[in-house]
Structure 1
Amino acid sequence: MATPAFEEIVEDFEFLEDWEDRYRHVIELGKAMAALNDALKVPATKVDGCASQVWLHPVIDNGVFRFDGDSDAMIVRGLIAVLRMLYNGLPVAEVSKVDAKAELGRLGLNDHLSAQRSNGLRAMIERIREVAAGQA
């Protein structure tokens, strides 16, 4: 049930031989993402449970979910970019149906992130799901 954008990243990852190449690709995705406006980096958008600073700014427009985000850590910024590809553009009611762990597992992320990064990723997914559930 992944978005076309997420399917593209899955295809990209299939061509990358080792985890270091995949890690670099995630970082590049984060670098390519537009920075979150500093005015949106407020306590209400900050995600607790992440080792680095993380902000997610969700927007629901005509029942369609999307979010922007930012982090002070390059790899986390890349993970935000990956999550945007997974969730952005979905009908808000579909967000909670995404099996993020399984989808991210297709990228091998579950096996290669530190415990702290995995916890932070779970916190970001939880925030996304909570916001969407409150709007569905």
Structure 2
Amino acid sequence: MQPFGHTLTDTDIRALFNSAHGWEARYKELIKLARQLPPLADADKTAANAIHGCESQAWLVSELVREQDGTERWQFHCDSDARIVKGLMAVVLAALNNKSAADIHAFDIEAYFAELQLLPHLSPSRGNGLRAVVEAIKESCKS
């Protein structure tokens, strides 16, 4: 399950946001990312998949994939009824999707957000919602 139809990594997001000068350009990139993220099926938009802590409606579906060589990686699909939240989810997915649980827990998400210069431009509730998405992902892949 590649949420974008191809692999999009945190390195890709860093390059994208480093070339976007100013908050308005970053905001436009978030909206573009939101458009690329396919919607969840209505059947997956359940209370069990709801992300709590977001002021918008948001959902997370996770799946553990076991490769033939025994390695495990987590795949996530997120959706929201708010475009900016969906764009922020795309940024998180680029960093954490298709990784092992250990890699997900070791990833310095706060440094990533700081490098992208996102949090200073988000309302406190959006920032909390963004962290809620990350916490939901980490919670879903606890060993």
TM over 0.5: yes
Q: Kindly provide the amino acid, as one letter, of the partner of residue 5 in structure 1.
A: T
3-state SS of paired residue (1:31): helix
- Residue matched to 1:61: 65
- Aligned to 2:21, the other structure's residue is in SS state coil
Residue 110 (structure 2) aligns with: 101
- CA distance in 2 between partners of 1:121 and 1:111 (Å): 13
- 1:21-74 CA distances to partner (integer Å, 9 max, x unpaired)? 101101110111111111000011001111000001011101101100100000
Aligned Cα root-mean-square deviation (Å): 1.3
CA contact (8 A) 1:101 1:110 kept: no
Contact kept in structure 2, 1:65 and 1:90, CA below 8 Å: yes
How far, CA to CA, are the matches of 1:48 and 1:4 in structure 2? 26
Q: 1:4, 1:27 → 2: CA distance?
A: 16
CA distance in 2, matches of 1:97, 1:45: 24
Partner of 2:31: 27
Q: Which residue of 2 aligns with 1:121?
A: 130
Which 5+ residue runs of structure 1 have no aligned equivalent?
A: none
TM-score for both structures, normalised by structure 1: 0.92
1:83 aligned onto 2:102: no
What 5-or-longer segments of structure 2 have no aligned partner? 1-6, 67-71
Give the AA of the match of 1:115.
Answer: P
Q: CA deviation at 1:92?
A: 2.0
In the alignment, the residues of structure 1 paired with residue 86 and residue 45 of structure 2 have an alpha-carbon distance, to the nearest angstrom, of 14
Distance 2:113 2:86 in 1: 15
Amino acid at match of 2:73: V
CA distance in 2, matches of 1:94, 1:17: 30
Q: How does the TM-score come out when normalised to structure 2? A: 0.88
Kindly state the Cα deviation for residue 4 of structure 1 after the two structures are TM-superposed: 6.7
> For residues 131 and 40 of structure 1, what CA distance do their matches in structure 2 show?
15
Supply the distance in 2 between the matched residues of 1:131 and 1:66 (Cα, whole angstroms): 10
Counterpart of 1:97, as a letter, is A
Other structure's SS at 1:90 match:
coil
